[in-house]
């Protein structure tokens, strides 16, 4: 089936088996392997991407049904570019170990701030619980979200 996907601002026309998930389309067809497969059944959050700015589990959605622009981890900062404040905060806080859940955590964290669900430490713990981290970087993930939030708000104001 012919599928049109807009990913990180770029349009792609793909001929896909209708069963292909957005996750597999990104990884196996577009070479965007920053989005990770941790369960393929909507349980771990490793495959989180943004569709139209909202967090979505890309293993849980068929590529053919995607409605909106997709942002993956590769779309946040180009090679050599300054990092997104959330990426920088994860790096500085050491909010990961193996890094496998990290792309999903970062996209989820950006959405968490934008949704207004990062108002308190408790709220971040709850609203980041859909992204599992087996290395258990959780306290540092919460710290990173708190650190990035004001910087994201400044950036948002500047671009207004």
Partner 1 sequence: MAEDPKTATAGSPFGKPQVRIDGRAKVTGRALYPSDEPVGNPAYAFLLTSAIARGRIRRFDLGEARAVEGVLDILTHETAGGEAKPPEMQSGGKTTTTLESDRVWHDGQIIGVVVANSYEIAREAAFRVRVHYEKEAPSASFGSPGAEEEVREPGEHKDYRVGNADAELASAEVTVDGWYGTPTQHHNPIELFTTTCAWENGKLTIWEPSQFVYGLRGNVAGQLGIDPEDVRVVSRFVGGAFGSKGGATARTAWIAVAARRVNRPVKLVATRDQGFTIVTYRAETRHHLQLAATRDGRLTALRHEGWELTSRPSDYNVSGTETTARMYACPNILTKVNIVHADRNTPGFMRAPPDTPYMFPLECAMDELAARLGIDPIELRRINDTQTDPTNGQTFSSRHLMDCFDRGAERFGWSRRDPRPGSMSNGDWLVGLGCASAAYPSNIAATAARVSLRPDGHARVQIAAHDIGTGAYTVVAIMAADQLGLAPEQVTVEMGDSSLPPASLAAGSSHTATITHAVAKACGELRDRIARAATTSNNGPLAGRDPATLVLSAGRLTAPDGAAEPLVDAVKRLTPGALEVYAENIPKGLSPEAMETLYKGKPPMSRGQNREDVTAYAFGAQFVEVRVHSRTREIRVPRMVGAFASGRIVNPLTAHSQYMGGMIWGLGAALLEKTEIDPRHARYVNDNISEYHIPVNADVRRVEVIMIPETDRDVNPLGVKGIGEIGIVGVNAAIANAVFHATGKRIRQLPIRIEDLL
Residue 160 C-beta: closest distance to partner 1, Å:
26
Size of the residue set binding ligand FES (CB under 6 A): 24
CB nearer to ligand FES: give 139 or 150. Answer: 139
**By C-beta, is 5 or 36 nearer to partner 1?**
36
Residues in the chain: 160
Q: How far is CA 54 from CA 2, 67, 142, in A?
A: 24, 11, 20
Q: Alpha helices of 2-137 — where are they, by DSSP H?
A: 22-24, 85-93, 102-114, 121-127
Minimum CB separation from partner 1 for residue 26, in Å?
A: 10
Give me the residues paired with residue 12 across strands: 5
Query: Binding of partner 1 at residue 119 (CB under 8 A)?
Result: no
- Considering only 85, 103, 110, 148, the residue that binds partner 1 (CB under 8 A) is 103
Assigned token pair, 51: 């569709």
Size of the site for partner 1 (CB under 8 A): 59
User: CA 17 to CA 73: how far, in whole Å?
Assistant: 25
Under the criterion CB under 8 A, does residue 151 sit at the interface with partner 1?
no
Binding residue for partner 1 (CB under 8 A) from 22, 35, 55, 66? 35
């Amino acid at each position: 089936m012919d599928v049109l996907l807009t990913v990180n601002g770029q349009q792609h026309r793909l001929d896909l088996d209708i069963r292909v998930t957005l996750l597999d389309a990104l990884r196996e067809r577009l070479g965007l392997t920053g989005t990770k497969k941790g369960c393929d059944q909507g349980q771990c959050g490793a495959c989180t991407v943004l569709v139209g700015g909202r967090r979505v589990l890309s293993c849980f959605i068929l590529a053919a049904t995607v409605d909106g622009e997709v942002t993956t981890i590769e779309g946040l900062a180009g090679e050599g570019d300054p990092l997104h404040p959330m990426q920088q905060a994860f790096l500085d806080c050491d909010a990961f170990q193996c890094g496998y859940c990290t792309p999903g955590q970062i996209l989820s964290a950006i959405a968490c701030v934008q949704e207004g669900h990062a108002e308190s430490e408790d709220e971040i713990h709850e609203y980041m619980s859909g992204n599992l981290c087996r290395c258990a970087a959780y306290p540092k993930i919460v710290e990173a979200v708190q650190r990035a939030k004001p910087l994201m708000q400044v950036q948002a104001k500047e671009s207004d």
